[in-house]
């Protein structure tokens, strides 16, 4: 029976890899549209949008009350009918509250911001952005419910692919139509409305059962979500406090460049984060049965997949950034070092960050809040120390180093909660192959002209990918045996 469960977990994780590859293939159009958007609106206007979006996404965390992450843990524990009934009840409550909050923000919040000194020519765009509060929140909530069924399609195809494509494509179209003043805000609102409708439609398709059976008890979900509410708010603030620090200590143009740094940073980081829902759902199921063998096998498999998929993308990105960044506009080329620096931290920390999902899956959501607070406690003084003098690179250094330290803490927390490290020999072999690929990469660079020579970078990239592919095929063959 344990072998059957392990095989099912493996199948779901491998299916997640396929979904990720399809999603990233579809995402290739978004960078081209983003290039068109930033070249038309310019770094300064883009910086105003990035700052406002960061503030809005923090408010989303306030009003969703941690229930999006809560249903991810709650749904796998319910009967199909009960899960549908409970999610719809909560969705109606969240929809009502977020629509009222978004309307109030658009009506009164923007006027207050203008009186406090915000440039009022941006008011029309800010009102449209404020109205995006409800669709963003509902997209997050219903997609997390579907991921509770271990289905990642919505996260990858709707939130990370459809919505960004509609936003950037709409922004470019609005600019050419002569509506540059509010083009960013309007396209962002439309994109999120479409995403919310798509997320709700996917939820109804995956939860067709109408009979709830026994009365649905939402109290356990609320108790689980309560510490997550504070954590998600703190985490959202954490994810955007670097942008706010850049806005405080630098100018709007620098914020615009940092917005592109975050685009690349999040692209690398989202590879690991796309596994989060399924790892959390699997850990939640395993915590009920207390099956250490299954946890070790599934967690090791997830770790191997993260390392094997994230690292080659990072190396490829680092090799071609010099040609990509100037396409966004001349001023955006200054973000190259910051991108490589922060993405390098994500690569090192990624295997350790999966540990927090096991801890959360075992019901220890309070530790998640503690970890977020710890990152904030580290990052805020580091941002104050590094950003004024180092700018973009200082923000990347502060963010990356803070997360790396806390990732080590999370590994020890998993050891304490589960009683084991939960990594098998396959993870060590994957790390060895990855290390060998980096050695081959550096050797090729040294022998063919160094980093500043374009042909040398491409040759080193080919060697890295070849060694990584050989390691992945070897590991897959071993796993099948």
Task: Please report, in tens digits, the pLDDT of each residue of the chain (481 residues total).
Answer: 556 656 666 665 665 555 555 555 555 556 667 788 888 888 777 887 887 788 788 888 888 888 888 888 888 777 778 888 888 989 999 999 999 988 888 877 666 666 655 544 466 777 888 889 999 999 999 999 888 777 777 777 888 888 988 998 899 999 988 887 788 888 999 999 999 999 999 999 988 877 656 667 788 888 888 777 877 788 778 878 898 899 888 887 888 899 889 888 888 888 888 778 778 878 877 877 677 888 888 889 889 989 988 999 999 999 999 898 988 888 888 899 999 999 999 999 988 999 988 988 887 877 877 888 899 999 999 999 999 989 999 999 999 999 999 999 999 999 998 888 989 888 999 999 999 999 999 999 999 888 888 899 999 999 999 999 888 887 767 666 6
Q: Model's pTM, two decimal places?
A: 0.72
DSSP for 466-477, written as a single string: HHHHHHHHHHHH
Distance from CA of residue 183 to its chain's centroid? 25
DSSP 8-state symbol, 156: I
Which pLDDT score is estimated for 117? 52
Which pLDDT score is estimated for 192? 95
Dihedral angle computed from the Cα positions of residues 381, 385, 388 and 390, in that order, rounded to the nearest 10 degrees: -120
DSSP 8-state symbol, 109: I
Residues 6+ apart with CB under 8 A from 260: 34, 38, 325, 328, 332, 335
Question: Please, are residues 277 and 147 in contact by the beta-carbon 8 Å criterion?
Answer: yes
> Which structure tokens are listed for 237?
């603030």
- Going by C-alpha positions, the residue among 71, 197, 191, 221 that lies closest to residue 138 is 197
- Going by C-alpha positions, the residue among 434, 438, 430 that lies closest to residue 479 is 430
Q: Cα–Cα distance between 187 and 168 in angstroms, integer?
A: 7
b/e 34-59 (16+ beta carbons within 10 angstroms → b): bbbbbbbbebebbbbbbbbbbbbbbb
Which pLDDT score is estimated for 167? 92
Which pLDDT score is estimated for 4? 61
Q: Match 């915590």 to its residue by tokens.
A: 287
Integer angstrom CA distances of residue 411 from 152, 415, 442 = 25, 6, 29
- Going by C-alpha positions, the residue among 63, 199, 209 that lies closest to residue 133 is 63
């Amino acid at each position: 029976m344990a072998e059957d469960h392990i095989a099912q977990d493996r199948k779901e994780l491998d299916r997640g890899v396929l979904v990720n590859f399809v999603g990233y293939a579809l995402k290739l159009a978004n960078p081209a549209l983003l290039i068109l958007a930033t070249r038309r609106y310019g770094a300064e206007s883009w910086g105003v949008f990035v700052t406002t979006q960061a503030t809005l996404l923090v408010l989303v965390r306030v009003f969703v009350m941690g229930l999006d992450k809560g249903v991810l843990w709650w749904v796998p524990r319910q009967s199909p009918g009960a899960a549908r009934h409970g999610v719809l009840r909560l969705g109606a409550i969240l929809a009502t509250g977020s629509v009222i909050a978004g309307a109030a923000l658009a009506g009164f919040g923007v006027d207050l911001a203008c009186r406090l000194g915000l440039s009022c020519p941006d008011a029309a765009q800010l009102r449209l952005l404020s109205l995006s509060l409800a669709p963003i929140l509902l997209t997050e909530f219903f997609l997390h419910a579907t991921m509770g069924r271990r289905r990642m399609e919505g996260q990858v195809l709707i939130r990370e692919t459809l919505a960004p494509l509609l936003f950037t494509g709409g922004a470019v179209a609005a600019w050419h139509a002569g509506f540059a003043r509010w083009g960013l805000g309007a396209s962002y609102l439309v994109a999120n409305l479409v995403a919310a409708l798509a997320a709700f439609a996917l939820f109804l398709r995956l939860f067709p059962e109408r009979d709830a059976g026994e009365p649905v008890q939402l109290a356990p979900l609320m108790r689980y979500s309560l510490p997550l509410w504070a954590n998600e708010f703190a985490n959202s603030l954490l994810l955007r406090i670097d942008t706010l620090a850049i806005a405080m200590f630098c100018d709007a143009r620098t914020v615009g460049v940092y917005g592109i740094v975050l685009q690349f940073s999040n692209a690398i980081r989202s590879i690991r984060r796309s596994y989060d829902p399924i790892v959390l759902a699997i850990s939640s199921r395993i915590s009920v049965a207390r099956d250490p063998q299954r946890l070790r096998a599934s967690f090791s498999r997830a770790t191997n997949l993260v390392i094997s998929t994230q690292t080659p993308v990072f190396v490829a990105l680092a090799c071609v950034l010099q040609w990509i960044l100037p396409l966004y506009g001349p001023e955006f080329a200054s973000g190259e070092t910051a991108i490589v620096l922060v993405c390098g931290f994500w690569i090192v920390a990624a295997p350790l960050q999966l540990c927090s999902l096991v801890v959360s899956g075992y019901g220890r959501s309070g530790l998640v809040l503690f970890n977020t607070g710890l990152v904030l406690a580290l990052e805020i003084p580091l941002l104050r120390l590094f950003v004024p003098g180092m700018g973009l690179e200082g923000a990347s250094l502060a963010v990356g180093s803070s997360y790396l330290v806390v990732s080590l803490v999370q590994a020890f927390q998993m050891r304490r909660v589960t009683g084991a490290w939960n990594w098998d020999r396959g993870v060590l072999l994957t790390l060895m192959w990855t290390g060998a690929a980096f050695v081959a990469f550096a050797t090729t660079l040294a022998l063919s002209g160094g980093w500043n020579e374009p042909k040398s970078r491409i040759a080193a990239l080919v060697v890295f990918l070849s060694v990584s592919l050989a390691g992945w095929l070897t590991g897959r063959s071993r796993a099948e045996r």
